[in-house]
Structure 1
Amino acid sequence: MKVLPFTSRIVLAGLVAVAGTGTVAAQEEYEDYAIEPIEADPWEPVNRAVFSFNDTVDRYTLKPIAKAYDWAVPEPVSKSISNVFNNLGEPRNLVNDTLQGKFHAAGIDTARFLLNSTVGVLGVFDVATKMGLQRNDEDFGQTLGAWGVPSGPYVVLPLLGPSTVRDGGSRIPESYAAYWYTEQVDHVPTRNTAIGTDLVDTRASLLSREELIRGDRYRFVRNAFLQNREFQVKDGEVEDQF
């Protein structure tokens, strides 16, 4: 089964988690997830405050821009933009697959990157998927989890969204491998344009997912995020906790 990637993009992680959880359990069970207590959230009062801040930022800034983008940009163009940024993320998948000993997946990621960067015109067209090479979504947080590092408590990071102590710390080394890292793209306007476009395009793709949220928005996103992360770290070999 495929899940949407865990991402450090601003205020998007919660919605990505909600979307990803749909691959783990039936969507009609989501409402139950929203009311189940989670022991992994000892900092809930602080997390709720940060969640509220992030939600407000999203509601009054990013979401309106994403709606305008979704209205103005034709779907084929938006799909091509998403393909380009997915292709830029393939080296990250390759590195983390290798660190986890997933050499077959690493080979697929390598083939995907080479095919989409050449035949796919710098990733504009996802020819690799059409050839049966399915995209993997791996990050350093999953690698640490595969190495046995516990996730630690759930934490909501300002602007960055849902995370855990382990995953939050993994963002630091991952930032050096990102396409927008200063030494790779030293032209500031170009780098900022790429980051902004990636952000808005990803947010626009998640607009339809919000209707899945039920009940207490904070608990729903938290439970969905934690379940999705466990599913990703364990490659789907998890027991239903709910």
Structure 2
Amino acid sequence: MRGSGVHGRWLLAGAMAVALAGCATGPDANPRDPLEPFNREVNKINEDFDKGVMRPIAEVYADYVPSPVRTAVSNVFSNVSDVYSALNNLLQGKPTRFAEDTMRVAINTVLGIGGLIDIATPAGLPKYKEDFGQTLGVWGVPPGPYLVLPLFGPSTVRDTGGMLVDRQADPSAYLHPVWMRNTLIGVRVVSARAELLGASSLVEMAALDRYSFMRDAYLQRREYLVYDGNPPDREDDGIDGDAKPTPPSSGSGESLPGQTMPVPPVAPSLSPGRLGL
């Protein structure tokens, strides 16, 4: 549990920054990003850490670890993420998705040798990426202000709270001894960052203001996921929006067998939702 506590303290520190940064707001602040001055500072620190530490490690990993091994590692973590995706689909009132996620975990764990091989996707089972932040959104909890967390990256007040809950549902949080759990977390972070090397280069070339690009892409993607790809038309950019999600029935927003729910492109980050932390 100590590893889980470390993550909890990081996320709690980020949430507390909302109150501490209140003085940074002003009349011209973006209504969805009233903490922009504070967020930009944290974002710069995160980018420097990524350039100096994470990206070089990820590049070495991508260059020297054979592709089949990298795929197997990614598959294992993906299989773990299906566990709490299933739980969140159940909480969102989507029994069909819950059953599909559960079947994915069972098939990939048993036939896929502990998740090393993804058997479920070729078999026609769609993969969903649900987290507790999305669950809160489905039940009408507004996202709150945009928030950049130290190390983790883009989030919102709602999603930060959701991350804490998701972490408790992650089986890896209960591994012992501690060194094994921490090693697993490190491998997961490096694996996820290596998968984003191409995307980060594209963002650096395309975005004039990388911070604004990442913020807008994150908020757009999260709304897209909460509404299962069908967000309502909005007439303003208020923090809470002008509509609330309707808790879906078991058949709403389902993908066809063998398909994965499409999502708009988003800038790379170390956010827990992307890393499965």
The TM-score by the shorter chain falls in which range? 0.7 to 0.9
Q: Which amino acid aligns with 2:164?
A: I
**2:212 pairs with 1:219:** yes
Q: Which amino acid aligns with 2:149?
A: L
Alignment of 1:91-102 (within 5 A): 91-102=83-94
Q: Which amino acid aligns with 1:202?
A: A
Q: What's the offset of the Cα at 1:75?
A: 1.2
Alignment of 1:2-41 (within 5 A): 38-41=30-33
**2:205 pairs with 1:205:** no
Structure 2 CA distance, aligned partners of 1:161 and 1:124?
A: 28
**2:46 pairs with 1:60:** no
Larger Rg: 2
RMSD over aligned Cα atoms: 1.8
State the match for 2:24 in structure 1. none
State the match for 2:162 in structure 1. 170
Q: Which amino acid aligns with 1:146?
A: V
**2:131 pairs with 1:105:** no
State the match for 1:139 in structure 2. 131
State the match for 1:234 in structure 2. 227
Indicate conservation of the 8 Å contact 2:138/2:226, yes or no. Answer: yes
Could you tell me which runs of 5 or more consecutive residues in structure 2 were left unpaired when the two chains were aligned: 1-6, 11-28, 238-277
Q: In structure 1, the residue corresponding to 2:39 is in which secondary structure? A: helix
Describe the superposition over 1:68-104 as per-residue Cα deviations: whole angstroms up to 9, x where unpaired: 0000011111111100001111110110000001110
**Fraction of identical pairs, as percent:** 45
* Correspondent of 1:74 among 42, 63, 66: 66
Q: Which amino acid aligns with 1:112?
A: R
Q: TM-score if structure 2 supplies the norm length?
A: 0.71
Structure 1 CA distance, aligned partners of 2:162 and 2:221?
A: 17
Q: What's the offset of the Cα at 1:38?
A: 4.8
Q: What's the offset of the Cα at 1:239?
A: 4.8
Structure 2 CA distance, aligned partners of 1:147 and 1:211?
A: 36
Q: Which amino acid aligns with 1:227?
A: Q
**2:32 pairs with 1:44:** no
Aligned length: 206
Structure 2 CA distance, aligned partners of 1:201 and 1:166?
A: 26
Structure 1 CA distance, aligned partners of 2:151 and 2:86?
A: 27
Bigger relative contact order, structure 1 or 2 (CA pairs below 8 A, ≥6 apart):
1
Indicate conservation of the 8 Å contact 2:83/2:170, yes or no. Answer: no
- Write out the 4+ residue segments of structure 1 that deviate beyond 6 Å after TM superposition: none
Structure 1 CA distance, aligned partners of 2:72 and 2:111?
A: 14
Could you tell me which runs of 5 or more consecutive residues in structure 1 were left unpaired when the two chains were aligned: 1-7, 11-36
